[in-house]
Amino acid sequence: MITQEKIDAFIKKIPPSPKALRETIFALNAGDLPKAAKAAKEDMALSSYLKDLVNKPIYGFRSEVSDVAQIFGILGVSRAQQTVYNYMLTLLSPTKWQLFQLNKSSFSNLQDELSIGWQKILQHLGIDDKETESAISLLPASIIVSEALFCEKINDVKLLRSVHNIDLNTILKRLCSVDLFDICERIAQKWEMNEEIPQIIQAASGVKPSDNEKIDQLGKWMHLLLFFTLSKAEFIEADLNDFIDFQIDYVADIYDEFSDVMEIG
């Protein structure tokens, strides 16, 4: 069994906080995009990440965008905050993944797919809230922590997977007494997100519905997004799809609407 102290030790590493990065986050929390852009320019790695990100084909800009202030202006406060969270995770992600078949590029693709999908959903639902938009960043963060925890018992994990048809979330629960969504909740608390965010994340598991209708609906949309994203070939090959046990009954009432928003079929 991996102790709670060990889990907390991994979570305390999220996120790294160089001075320019802290100032960028503080300004975004205050909704001050010009001040955030000025701080971000002081961090060359962050500036480079932002430029590479918005010029990816998935973001759909026809001409290259290179000015950080312009990038933040395009993204807006909510999306810029989520993007900075994603950047912090790239600093923490392993140089070499041992359990999941991921690398820098595929992990970045995972962040992009989840971020853009979640943005589509929130736009469809008419929700404009920077913390709710940033909530999707908790899933890649928890995958980094899960990788680190699994690597503590890598031989046990591989043996369980070879002998028994057990999903990764169940193995994580057996080893650590927490699952992927519990780890997300702990990270949300570390990031001092409002109390609704962990509730949305737990509902997104598909097996821990919320009594709050708004939170439960967001949980359903996130559950579908996770299943939809992790079912893509790149993430099946990375073994990430083993984390999500699709709860079709839980999301049946919004499945067709989700398909329309994601333009499936």
Mean pLDDT of 4-27: 74
Range of the domain at 95: 4-14+79-261
CB-CB contact of 23 with 39 (8 Å): yes
Read off the pLDDT of each residue in 65-90 and give the average, rounded to a whole number: 85
Residue 24, in any domain of the structure: no
Residue 109 within a domain? yes
- Residue 58 within a domain: no
Most confident of 11-15, 35-39, 106-110, 221-225: 221-225
Please report the pLDDT score of residue 13 as a whole number: 67
Question: Is there a domain that residue 232 lies in?
Answer: yes
Asked if residue 59 belongs to a domain, the reply is: no
Alpha-carbon gap, residue 263 to 193, rounded angstroms: 31
pLDDT, average across residues 195-213: 94
CA distance 95 to 217: 36
Per-residue pLDDT at 169 exceeds 70:
yes
The answer as to whether 85 is a domain residue is: yes
Closest C-alpha among 147, 88, 154, 79 to residue 114: 79
Mean pLDDT of the chain: 87
Q: Which pLDDT tens digit goes with each residue over 125-161?
A: 999 888 898 899 899 989 998 998 888 888 888 888 8
Residue type, 105: S
Check if the beta carbon of residue 94 is closer than 8 Å to that of residue 149.
Answer: no
What pTM, to 2 d.p., does this model score? 0.82
Band (265; pLDDT cuts 50, 70, 90): low
Q: How many domains does the chain have?
A: 1
51 is a domain residue: no
CA 98, 102, 107 angle in degrees (round to 5)? Answer: 135
Q: Quick one: pLDDT at residue 189?
A: 84
Question: Is residue 22 situated within a structural domain?
Answer: no
Residue with the larger pLDDT of the pair 89 and 23: 23
